[in-house]
Amino acid sequence: MDQDIRPKAAPPVDDYEHRVADEKLIKYFKAVVELDASDLHLKEGAPPRVRVTGRMRPTKSEPLTNQQIVDLVTPLLSERQKEFLRTHGAIDLAYELEGSDRFRINIFRQRGKLSVAARRVPRNIPDFSSLHLPAMVTKIAEYHQGLVLVSGITGSGKSTTLAAMLEHINKHRSCHIVTIEDPIEFLFDDKKAFINQREIGIDVPTFDDALRYLMREDPDVVLIGEMRDKETFAAALRAAETGHLVFATVHASSTYQTITRILELFTPDERNLARQSLCFNLRAVICLKLMPSIADGVDRVPATEIMLTTPTVHKMLEEGRDAEIAEIVKSSSHEGMHDFTASLMQLIEKEWVDPRVAYDYAPNIDELKMRLKGISTSGSGGMRAE
């Protein structure tokens, strides 16, 4: 890559079918697959690192120079993409190993040099059982209308969970699914459903353009990647309002925080209208935390928190009593909801996770310890034996 190229391009649209990769980069990707790692990281002055079962590990390779990294990524990029990288300091793209897995690649500048973070996307789409997700996730995937949000921090399994939900629909429902992704991660083959996947920067220049044309594409089910701004959220709500089932992701650490994050996208003057739309269109929030497992043959399992927009939750949302939603989620297991503490309890009881690890992931360690002892805290601050 010519280090002197000056930025001047808008988000590039290129043909990923003809994307090529350096042979050494391909070897790195193959090693990631063989190690069953989830991520590959490249940085100047350090050997390549991989993430295995959630932990970063150095490889035995020699430290890389910046020029070596430039040489590795150059074949992946068109001239327009090089210019885009110069302009924005980062670019997303995907690469598929022939006959194997795909990689979601982010090339970015740091300290004036190039670094690479590549997330492995398995070719085979896992089902709910292999992901160890609760049965309620299957029921949510069978909704026909409304907004479903999957939240969690980076690397918590949001994309994989959404892929499993879409594949469930693909296998069981005759419908049209449209995905808008940056970049495309899991590749779907048509089964009962008919699926079109649009990649930003390849099939359409921007998210705004993709959202503008969405309703003309006659979708029944829509996947909008990440809720990045209020325009994306407003488009998702419009799609839900017109009778579509819409999936999206949000970076948030709980179901309550997911709602807060969305409302914070809007100015105070706009927030009330956004709240009303959320009340009538939000169907469920699934929040994930991926954690190491002690069960044989299982590397990681998700702890989950699920909120459904029941009449009670609807009322709380409508009245702006968002802080009380956490208590409703905790006390409404009979309606299909549960909080992280309940999920962690179940994982411990099934001997899927070590209690000491569960404490590290618990929102409230003392509450988890009390529940494990058979004591449940109530919303009024009292306690009751179970």
DSSP for 338-360 reads B-HHHHHHHHHHTTSS-HHHHHH
Phi then psi dihedrals of residue 150, to 5 deg:
-115, 120
Place of tokens 């469930």: 168
Query: Would the CATH topology of 19-121 be identical to that of 128-385?
Result: no
Burial string for 52-81 (b: 16+ CB within 10 Å, else e) reads eeeeeeebeeeebebeebbebbbebbbebb
Q: What is the CATH number of domain 128-385?
A: 3.40.50.300
Q: What is the CATH number of domain 19-121?
A: 3.30.450.90
Q: Where are the domains of the chain?
A: 19-121, 128-385
Predicted confidence at residue 353, as pLDDT, reads 95
- The encoded tokens of residue 320 equal 């702006």
Calpha distance 215→211 (Å, rounded): 8
- Residue 362 near residue 344 (C-beta atoms within 8 A): yes
- Residue 275 near residue 318 (C-beta atoms within 8 A): yes
Calpha distance 142→136 (Å, rounded): 10
DSSP for 290-310 reads EEE--STT-SEEEEEEEEE--
- Residue 29 near residue 103 (C-beta atoms within 8 A): yes
- Residue 150 near residue 161 (C-beta atoms within 8 A): yes
Q: pLDDT by residue for the chain (386 residues), tens digit each?
A: 333 333 333 444 444 444 678 899 999 999 999 999 999 999 999 999 999 988 899 999 999 999 999 999 999 998 888 999 999 999 988 898 988 899 999 999 999 999 999 999 988 899 999 999 999 999 999 999 999 999 999 889 999 999 999 999 999 999 999 999 888 889 999 999 999 999 887 888 888 889 889 989 999 999 998 887 888 888 888 889 889 999 999 999 999 999 999 999 999 999 999 999 999 999 999 999 999 999 998 889 999 999 999 999 999 999 999 989 999 999 999 899 999 999 999 999 999 999 999 999 999 999 999 988 875 554 444 434 34
